[in-house]
Amino acid sequence: MTLVDLAATPLRELNAALHALPQDTNDTRWTIRNPRGQHAVAVGIDAPIAVEIEGHVGYYCAGMNQQASVTIHGNAGVGLAENMMSGEVHVTGDASQSAGATAHGGTLVIGGNASARCGISLKGADIIVKGSVGHMSAFMAQAGNLVVLGDAGEALGDSLYEACLYVRGKVASLGADCVEKEMTEEHKAKLATLLAKGGVNGGVDVGDFRRYGSARELYHFKIDNVGAY
């Protein structure tokens, strides 16, 4: 295991070392101590490694992640796992705005709550939030899944494309072109798989969730919908 103390090692050196790892590296376990809310911790990793971050992080932690499994034992600032391509990112606490923004693949797990615009412009990743999400979550989400075990703020799924949203709690309001859809047995099975990916293995009934998706009325410009654009 490689131990890096950011109280003594510059963040730039840490990220450079992570970027330099070859695909066949044997240095697969990393522990990062004293992040102290620094921004861009463990960004741009492209190697099959596991990274444990002991403490709170700032903006864009684990952004552009590929292959790696990154766990933050604390809270995360804006843009957690932004543009993630694959792998896993798990924050045990809360996440600020735009968690998982534009993420193309992989899995993001948020142990607490997520602020506004969680999953904005989501492009294929799976996001599982064990708490609640703020307003305009999944705004312009194009593909992938957002699972919320708590509540959702206003304008959920505004201008949604083809992402699937599952919410167990209350939804303050739905955004433009987002509607509730039937929860079929196929969707229940899919949701059960997503919950398992998020480490939710018991005590949660998939029947308690509601599914939301695109009404597909804003795909093409229509003068009758001008007020919704």
- Model pLDDT for residues 185-215, shown as the tens digit of each residue: 999 999 999 999 999 987 899 999 999 999 9
Give the model's pLDDT for residue 224. 76
What are the residue ranges spanned by the domains of the chain? Answer: 2-228
Q: How confident is the model at residue 70 (pLDDT cuts 50, 70, 90)?
A: very high
Q: Answer whether 35's CB lies under 8 Å from 15's CB.
A: no
- 141-145, 174-178, 199-203 — which is least confidently predicted? 199-203
Mean predicted confidence (pLDDT) in 3-10: 98
Out of 2.160.20.60, 3.40.190.10, 1.10.645.10, 3.50.50.60, the CATH code matching 2-228 is: 2.160.20.60
For residue 104, CA distances in Å to 107, 108, 192 come to 10, 11, 21
- Tokens representing 191? 């949701």
Mean predicted confidence (pLDDT) in 32-36: 98
Give the model's pLDDT for residue 228. 61
Give the model's pLDDT for residue 115. 98
* Rounded-to-integer distance, Cα 9 and Cα 5, Å: 6
| Its pTM surpasses 0.85 | yes
Mean predicted confidence (pLDDT) in 169-180: 97
